Amino acid sequence: MGERGEVFSSRLIKDDRTYFFNVKENIYGDLYLNIVESRPTDTEGRFLRQSILVYQEDMGDFVKEMQKSLDYIRKHGTRTNPRFARKDSKEEEE
Classified as helix, coil or strand, 9 is strand
pLDDT the model gives residue 89: 47
Give 10: exposed, middle or buried? Use CB within 10 Å, 0-12, 13-18, 19+. Answer: exposed
- 6-78: CATH topology: Nuclear Transport Factor 2; Chain: A, (3.10.450)
> Would you state the pLDDT for residue 90?
52
pLDDT along the chain (94 residues), means of 10: 77 96 92 95 93 95 96 84 55 50
* Helix (H) or strand (E) segment spanning residue 26: none
Domain range list for the chain: 6-78
